[in-house]
Structure 1
């Protein structure tokens, strides 16, 4: 006969795991220059995201605030 045991968890029934806080990374003058260069070169946002180690959303927001076209919003 096989007995099943409930899964072991470290949290109690109504506890929620703590979320990790993300640290913001300010845009430097070099980052802005690089973003503008890649905008002119029409580099895909996914590739630029990996290159600059920033999310696609972050890059799109910064490009929009600078008035630079990026990705499909041209």
Structure 2
């Protein structure tokens, strides 16, 4: 997608419009004296978490909550 380049003075006077355009998916670069200073981009859309989406793809061992106990104990009691 092409980026729209706007100078800083114009961006100040049209900020509300530029934010609406960015929210609609457009990328806008704000420049001063032809030098890019900032980029106005749309926020990523949050996708809702789907509970159970990994069911059947992973397995959790029965002793999951005990994994590493011996190693942790050895760190604190190095006999």
Q: TM-score range by the shorter chain?
A: under 0.3
Structure with higher helix content: 1
Tell me the TM-score normalised to structure 2 length: 0.24
Tell me the TM-score normalised to structure 1 length: 0.25
- Structure 1 or 2, whichever has the larger Rg, is 2
Structure with higher strand content: 2
Higher relative contact order (CA 8 A, sep 6+): 1
